[in-house]
Chains A and B, each alone.
Chain A
Amino acid sequence: MNIEELYVKSFGKLNDLRIKLCDNFNIIYGQNESGKSTLIAFIRAMLYGLSEKKNKTPDRIAYMPWDGSEAGGDMVLVHEGKKLRIHRTFDRNNHRKDQCQISDMTKGIELNLSGEDITGLTLSAFDSTVFIRQLSVTRIADENKDLYNKLVNIAQTGQEDADAGNALIYLEDRIKELSGRRKDVSINSVMERRSSLEKELNELIKQHQLMMEDESRLLDLKERLKVLEDEIAQLNEIRPSFMMLDEWERDFSKLKVEIERLDGEIKELEKTSLNGYREELKQKQKKLDDLLSQKSSYVDDQILKRYSGYSVYLTLGMVLVVAGLLATFLNPLFLALLAIGAVMAFLGYNGRNRYYQLIQMKQQEEGQEALAKQLILDIDDIKALINETETRLGQLRFAKDEKEQRLQELKKRIDDLMDSLSTYNIESYDYDSIISLSSQKIEEKEKIISQIASIQERWKDGEIFKKIPELRQEINLLDRHIEKMNFEYRAFKLAYDVMRNCLEEVNTDFTPRLIERAGEIIKAITGRYERVGIDSENLKLSVIVPEYSVFKSPFDLSGGTADQIYLGFRIALADAAASDKNPPLILDDALVQYDDERLKNALSFLVKYSKKRQVILFTCHRREIDMLEDLCDGDINIIEL
C-alpha cells in the first residue's frame, strides 16, 4: 500500500491541511511544535482509529480539536491496485460514536475493511515494525544499555520490547519457587504445613472419639455405681438380721449338742446304772431268799460237849499202838496191847471226826446268818442307789425337755427370719459370705468411683476440641492456597514450555534471516560493519568490526553507531513483518544522531529502499532536506509544515 493524500479536516492543532505524498521517498519537515507529531498520530488514527479503551483517553483528549469542533479527516491510498479513501470522524468522548468509511474511489462503493486489512499489520505490529518513532530513537541515544537490550531483543525475538531471556528467567524462577522447598512459598512447604495440620486434626478427632467413648463408658459406670450403691445399702440393711440369724443358728446347734449330751446321759443312766442296780437287787434278794429257805439243821451244844473228849481216845490209842509195837519186839504178848491201842485209836478217831463235823456245822450255821444280815444291808443300799438315780434321771429329762422347747422356739424364729430375708435376692444365707460380698461390692464401688474421677479428670478440658473447626478452616484456606499455587504452577510451566519452544523456533527460523538482512542494511548505512552476529550462549549481540576483525558489542560502540544498527534492525524487521500489503515505512526523526557521513549513507539507503516501499521521513532538521536535494536531484517529495 501507498499513502497518496492526507486531508486533516481537524485533528489536534491541525486543521484543513492537505498533504500529497509520492510513492517513493517523502520527507516532511516541520520545526518543533509545528504539528509534526500530530500529523504522525493522524496517520495512525486514520489507519487504526483512536483508542477504544474507556479508561484510556489521552489520545482522544490530546487530539480533539482545540476549537471544539469534531476531529476527523481523510486518507487516500492505493490498496491492491485500488484507490481507497478512508474517512473518519472521532467523537470527543465515546469511541462508539466514531465513524469510519472506507470506500473504493473508482467504483464509488463502500468497503468493509479495517486498517489492519489495509496494512497487513496489527496496530502493535505496525508500531513495532514500519513505524519507527522518534521516541524510540532518542531514548536509545540516552541510554545505550536500553538500546543494547532492544537490539538483543530484536535479534532474539524479533521484538525490541520482548526480552525472551528475562522472560524465561522470570518464568523459571517462579516455577522453581513453586516447586522448591522454601517455606510458605513453595507448594511442597504449604502441602507439608497442610499435612501436619491434618495430622493434628485427625489426632484431635480421634481424641474426641475417645472422649465420646469414655463418656459412653461413664454412663455405664454411673449406672453400675447406682446398682452397687443400692446393693450395698441393701446388704447393710440386712446385715444385722444375718448377724442375729448367725447367732441363733449357733445357739441352735449349741442347744442341739446339749440336748444330745443330756440324752446320752439319760440313756447311760437308764441303760447301765439303773438296770445294773436292779439286776443286783434281784440277785441279792434271790440269794437272801435262798439263804432263808435253807436254815434246817441245828447243832446242840450238849452233843457237841459229848464229842469233845474223843480226841483223847485217839491219842491214847496211838500211844498204845506205838508201845505195843515196841513191846512186841520184846515180848510177842504185847501184841494184845497193840490190839487194845488200835481199837482205842479207832474209836477216838471216829469220835473226833464227828466232833469236827459238828463244829463245822455250827460254824456254817453262824456264817449263813451273817451272810443274810449282810445281804439285807446290801439290798438296802441298792435300793437307795436306785432311788437316787431315778431322781437324777428325772432332773435330766426335765432339762432336756426344756432345751428341746427352746430349740423349737429358736427354729421357728430362724425360719421366720429366713422367710423375711427370702424377699431379698441373696444367694447365700451365710453371714460371712454376706460380709465378703458386701466388702467386694464396696471395693468395686470405690474402683468405679476412681474410674469415673479419672475419666472426668482426663476430659476436664473439653475446650481443646474448639481447635477442630479452627484446624479445618485453616486446612481449607491452605487447600485454596495450594489450588491457586498449583494453578499458577501449571500456567507458569505451560508458559515456560511454550516460550522455550517459541524461542527455539524464532532462533532457528526467524532471527537468522532477520540478522542477515539487518547486516546488509547496516553495511549499507555504515559502510563498515558488515555482519551482525548473535552469541546464542550468552545472548550477546555483536557486530564485526573489520578494522579489528573482532566482534564488538554495540554496547561498546558510539551512540551514533548503535543508532544505525538499531535502524538496520528495524528496517529488517519491517521487511520481515510486512506482508504483501507492503505498508509505508514511517520514520519520526530517526536520524538525528547521525554525523553527516552516516546521514548521507542512511539517506541514500532509504532513497534506494523507497523504490520498493514508500518511505515517509519526518524531521525537524533542515540538513536532511539539503542533503537529499543534493543526493536525488529533486526526485523526492519534500513537504514543509
Chain B
Amino acid sequence: MALKIAHMADVHLDSDFLGLPPHLAAVRRGDMIKSFDRAIDVVKAEKADILIIAGDLFEEQSVLKSTINHISSRLGELYPVPVFIAPGNHDPHTHRSYYRICDWPDNVHIFDQNLYRFDIDTLNVSVYGKGFDRPYIKEPALYGFKVEDSSRINIMAIHGDIAEESIYNPIRLKDIEGSGLNYLALGHIHTRTGLKRTGKTSWCYPGNIEGRDFGECGPRGFVMCTLDENQCKLDFFQVNTREYTVVNIDITDMPETQEIIQRVERYCGNNVILRVFLKGVVEEQYKEGINIPFIVDQLNGSLKEGLFYVDIVDETEVDIDLDALAKDVGIKGLYARKMKQILQEVHEDEKKVVKEALRIGIKALGGQEQ
C-alpha cells in the first residue's frame, strides 16, 4: 500500500512582505493564512496519511497568538492523520516558543532539538525529526545518522541547508546517502526543488506556500509524496493566494505613456503582485518624461480588476554615445573624456554610478534644468 506524505515548509505566517508598502501588510498576512487553509483542505481532500511541516511555519518574532490558535485548530481537524513539525530557524523550539506554550492537538507532534523517532505501526512507518532550538546551527544535522529498522518505511522531517557548511543546519549529501531514509522532507529553501535522489533516499524542498517578496515569483504550494516499496512519486499542489511576477519591459522604442500602460497591462493578471522594470536605451528627455506615479495611477483600473499591486521601476539607460561625445569641442567633450577615463578605471560595481554621473553631467550642461 502506498504511503501518502503531504510535505510543506516555510509558511512564515505573520512575517513581513518586503517590497510592499506597510498598509498592505495586513492583507498579505491574511493571504498567507488563506493559503495555509487551502493547503490543509487539500491535505484532507487528498487523504494524506501524514502531514509534515518542515520548519519555519511561523515568524517567531512577530507571530500573533490568534494565528497560532488558528493553525493549531486547523491541524487538529486532520485528526487522526498525524502532523509532524520540525521547527526551523525562524520558529525555533525554545522555552518561550508557542510550540511549548500552546496546547497543540494530540495528532500534532513537534520535534525539539533532539533527534526523535515516532513509530506509526498501522502504516509501518517511522518518522524521524529534529528541530531548531536556536536561530543558528552549524553542526551537520545528519552526521552519522542511520535508520534503526530498515524493514520499515523511514522518513525524516528536518529544516536545513543542503550544503557541506552552513549556519542553518547543514545537511551533507554524503550523510543523506548513508542515512537509509526512504524520504527526507526538507524545509528552508523557498524555491521548490522537485524530487531529488541521493543514494536510496528521495528528498525535496517543497518551497513556500505563498511568495513573500519579488524574489519569490511564480506558483507556490506544497508537495504530496507517494511512497511505495521501490518508488517515490511527487505531486505539486498550488495553493498560493497571490503570485509575484517580475517583468522587464523594453521601451527602447520610446512609446507613448498610454502604450507603456498597455504593455504593463498585459501582465496585470488576477491576484498578481507585479514589478515592472522598464528597460532599454532611451533619450534623456524621454526618460525625464516617464511619469511613473501617473502610470501606476492609470493602472488602478487593473488593480480593481484583480491585480493586487504594481510597482514600476525605471531602469532605462540614457542613450549617450560616449565615444562621440568625447570628441566634442568644449566642456561636454572634456567631461565625456574624463568620464570615459574614470569608467575604464573603476571597479565593475562603480560603473553604474559613473554612468549616472555622466548622464547627470551631460543633462546639467544641456541646461534643461534652468
Q: Which residues of A contact B (CB under 8 A)?
A: 53-56, 116, 121-125, 128-129, 154, 156-159, 161-164, 166-168, 170-171, 205, 208-209, 212-213, 215-216, 218-219, 459, 462-463, 465-466, 468-474, 476-477, 487-488, 490-492, 494-495, 498-499, 501-503, 505-506, 510, 573, 576-577
Contact = CB atoms under 8 A, between A and B. Distances in A.
B329 A125 contact: yes
B367 interface: yes
B17 A468 contact: no
A512 to B, nearest CB: 14
B18 interface: yes
Contacts of A168: 364
B163 interface: no
Interface stretch (B110-118, B135-143, B330-338): B330-338
A498 B16 contact: no
A164 B328 contact: no
B21 interface: yes
A122 B21 CA distance: 48
B364 A170 contact: yes
Interface string B331-370: 1111100110010000000001110111011001111011
26 contacts: A54-B253, A54-B254, A122-B325, A122-B327, A124-B324, A124-B328, A125-B327, A128-B329, A158-B331, A159-B331, A162-B331, A162-B332, A163-B370, A167-B361, A209-B61, A216-B96, A463-B66, A469-B15, A469-B29, A469-B59, A470-B16, A473-B17, A487-B352, A487-B356, A491-B360, A499-B365
Interface string B64-95: 11100000000000000000000000000001
A490 B353 contact: yes
Determine the main DSSP class of A at the interface with B: helix
A53 B354 CA distance: 25
B328 A157 contact: no
Given A209-B96, A474-B22, A498-B342, A166 B367 contact: yes
A473 B357 contact: no
Contacts of B62: 205, 208, 465, 468-469
A155 to B, nearest CB: 10
Contacts of B332: 157, 159, 162
Most chain A C-beta atoms within 10 Å of own C-beta, residue among B16, B25, B98, B330: B330
Contacts of B333: 125
B20 interface: yes
B330 A171 contact: no
Nearest to A129: B329
Given A125-B329, A162-B330, A468 B16 contact: yes
Given A122-B324, A477-B21, A491-B356, A159 B329 contact: yes
B37 to A, nearest CB: 19
Given A123-B324, A219-B101, A487-B352, A506 B96 contact: no
B365 A476 contact: no
Interface of B: 14-26, 29, 59-66, 95-98, 100-101, 252-254, 283, 319, 324-325, 327-335, 338-339, 342, 352-354, 356-358, 360-361, 364-367, 369-370
Given A124-B325, A128-B329, A463-B66, 10 more contacts: A54-B253, A55-B253, A216-B101, A462-B66, A468-B62, A469-B15, A469-B17, A473-B18, A477-B21, A492-B357
A128 B25 CA distance: 55
A207 to B, nearest CB: 11
A463 B365 contact: no
Nearest to A503: B331
A158 B330 contact: yes
A219 B100 contact: yes
B124 to A, nearest CB: 36
Nearest to B17: A473
B98 to A, nearest CB: 8
